[in-house]
């Protein structure tokens, strides 16, 4: 497959960690043109890097900014080609199959981390995919959700991937929990807080925008965990 060959060449030419963004697709904006090394459409056969929604590009931009250019990104597009129903926020995907397949694809590509800034409810197929990814040593970072509940809907996934899977809640710029965040209700899964209110990022059109929600807190944690993992590996290898 030509794309896979190109992706492998890009990764082998760089020592950077590789992060999978499972989302609505990512545009190669100016900041991301040398960062996003490829895209797989897991829900259709649409042209690469031409997303219908801004969400995935916003998430990828936050990862790149937080990592200060220290990672490469592969986009795994899972949004429904039919689009989002009225009053639903993208990316929308009514089936678990493309999402589970995207996680497995990320494992096959040998990524270091997976970012899932999706409205996920516990689903057996996705839960088992998270378990498989975590068993391979891959970091799995998931948004805790924006329903303002005292129980995230994806705790089974977090438990399945423990200790490499983590849920991320959103705070405001002062560090206070955002009212829309699904909050932790137990201590047998990992849950962290990151800024998720008015996070600066870029739209698919390359315009400066701000994102609010756990979707935009999760990529901050993804970048931090990937960089921390890289420092640990370097220390073990005696390279720093």
- Give the pLDDT of the chain (240 residues) as one tens digit per residue: 334 434 544 444 457 999 999 999 999 999 999 999 999 999 999 999 999 999 999 999 999 999 999 999 999 999 999 999 998 999 999 999 999 999 999 999 999 999 999 999 999 999 999 999 999 999 999 999 999 999 999 999 999 999 999 999 999 999 999 999 999 999 999 999 999 999 999 999 999 999 999 999 999 999 999 999 877 766 667 755
For residue 19, give both structure tokens.
Answer: 């992060």
Q: Would you please indicate which residues are annotated as catalytic (active-site) residues?
A: 23, 55, 215
Q: How far is CA 14 from CA 70, 183, 197, in A?
A: 10, 38, 33
Could you give the CA distance from residue 19 to residue 23 in angstroms, rounded to a whole number?
12
User: pTM for the whole thing?
Assistant: 0.93
Residue that has been written with the tokens 């795994």 in this structure:
76
In the CATH hierarchy, which fold is given to the domain comprising 15-236?
A: Rossmann fold (3.40.50)
Domain ranges of the chain: 15-236
């Amino acid at each position: 497959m030509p794309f896979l060959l190109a992706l492998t060449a890009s990764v082998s030419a760089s020592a950077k960690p590789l992060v999978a963004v499972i989302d609505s697709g990512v545009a190669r904006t100016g900041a991301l043109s040398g960062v996003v090394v490829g895209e797989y459409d897991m829900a259709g056969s649409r042209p690469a890097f031409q997303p219908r929604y801004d969400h995935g590009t916003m998430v990828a931009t936050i990862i790149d900014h937080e990592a200060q250019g220290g990672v490469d990104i592969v986009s795994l597009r899972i949004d429904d080609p039919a689009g989002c129903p009225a009053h639903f926020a993208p990316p929308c995907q009514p089936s678990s199959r493309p999402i589970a397949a995207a996680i497995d694809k990320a494992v096959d590509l040998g990524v270091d981390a997976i970012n899932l800034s999706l409205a996920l409810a516990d689903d057996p197929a996705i839960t088992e995919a998270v378990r498989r990814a975590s068993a391979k040593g891959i970091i799995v970072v998931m948004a805790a959700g924006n329903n303002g509940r005292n129980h995230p809907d994806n705790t089974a996934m977090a438990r399945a991937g423990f200790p490499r899977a983590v849920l991320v809640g959103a705070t405001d710029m002062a560090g206070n929990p955002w009212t829309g965040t699904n909050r932790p209700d137990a201590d047998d899964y990992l849950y962290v807080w990151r800024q998720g209110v008015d996070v600066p990022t870029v739209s698919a059109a390359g315009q400066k925008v701000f994102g609010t929600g756990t979707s935009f807190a999760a990529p901050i944690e993804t970048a931090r965990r990937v960089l921390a993992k890289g420092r640990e590996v370097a220390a073990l290898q005696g390279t720093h």
